[in-house]
Structure 1
Amino acid sequence: MNSSHNADKTRDKLAELLKLAHERPLDTEELALLNENAVGFDATLGLRYTHIARGEVRAEVTVNPALLQPWGLVNGGVFSSIAESVGSLAGVVQAGEVVVGVNNNTDFLKSVKAGVIEARATPIHTGRRSQVWNVELRHDGQLVALSKLRTMTLG
């Protein structure tokens, strides 16, 4: 099989899981399957989803040297990227169809050098054509960044 065919199969598998999450929270095995088949930027970040359900998505990233600025702090773009991924996936689960981020406003509150960054997306507004998500990013329980993500439904 060629890599294009494998990529299509992986995307189909992920789409099935997200449709399922529109109906009910994913269980541990389903989360593991989704994480094992991570593609694109989520895979590059090392993003690992820990909870996926309508109304809430949680994920975590273990800080590694590739995510740091030259002076050893997590790059602000990493926080924005985590928020974009987690909030967009929450939007897909909520809408039951593809959504894309159209605005991401992230405030950086504290620096992080190592460890795990946890993200939690919850809805502020879930309309038919657009959504607004609040994404809290925490390290050792402390709020380190706060994002507001607006998404638009493509369907």
Structure 2
Amino acid sequence: MNPPNHSGEIRKKLDELLKIAHKRPLNQPELALLNENAIGFDATLGLRYTHITRGEVRAMVRVTPSLLQPWGLVNGGVYCSIAESVGSIAGVVQAGEVVVGVNNNTDFIKSVTNGIIEAHATPIQTGRRSQIWNIELRHEGKLVALSKLRTMTLG
């Protein structure tokens, strides 16, 4: 027998929190609730949001062996995935409705083998139907990847 699927309830909580963030920054208990109920690919990555407000989202990922290439370096797709998640959350908070990524351009600058990767998304352009987000990914304060994410609203 399969355990009950609570992802619908969790998605509802996520939607409520992002609507709050559209009006004001999420506080620490709200961020903790969001992180404790991570689902989907964010949960797989171990992505933890540290700041969410209109115009700025920050998050972090602790590097684990599952995120490494066979040669011991963080896989480039991890950087793209972090940028997609953080930029998409930024887009939803900005627009107040669901957005989807339509283009993700990520440049890899420096290799990472362990520690924490921090992401910081800020807007380049936020229109009614599309947005462009700049996402800087840093390790120990140094820029390791830079992404530009274009999103489109679904509403």
d(CA) in 2 for partners of 1:84, 1:3? 29
d(CA) in 1 for partners of 2:94, 2:4? 30
- Aligned letter for 1:147? S
Aligned to 1:107: 107
For the pair 1:36 / 2:53, whether they are aligned, the reply is no
Question: What percentage of aligned pairs have identical amino acids?
Answer: 78
- Aligned letter for 2:84? E
Unpaired segments of 5 or more residues in structure 2? none
Deviation at 1:3, TM superposition (A): 2.4
d(CA) in 2 for partners of 1:50, 1:3? 29
Q: Secondary structure at the match of 1:3?
A: coil
d(CA) in 2 for partners of 1:82, 1:57? 12
Q: Secondary structure at the match of 2:26?
A: coil
- Aligned letter for 2:4? S
Q: Deviations over 1:104-123 (max 9, x none)?
A: 00000000000000000000
d(CA) in 2 for partners of 1:96, 1:44? 25
Aligned to 2:124: 124
Q: Deviations over 1:115-155 (max 9, x none)?
A: 00000000000000000000000000000000000000000
Which residues in structure 2 correspond to 1:37-56 (within 5 Å)?
A: 37-56=37-56
For the pair 1:80 / 2:80, whether they are aligned, the reply is yes
For the pair 1:98 / 2:102, whether they are aligned, the reply is no
Count of residue pairs the alignment pairs up: 153
User: Where has structure 1 moved over 3 Å in runs of 4 or more?
Assistant: none
CA RMSD of aligned residues (A): 0.6
Deviation at 1:7, TM superposition (A): 1.3
Aligned to 1:9: 9
- Aligned letter for 1:148? K
Q: Secondary structure at the match of 1:123?
A: strand
d(CA) in 2 for partners of 1:30, 1:114? 28
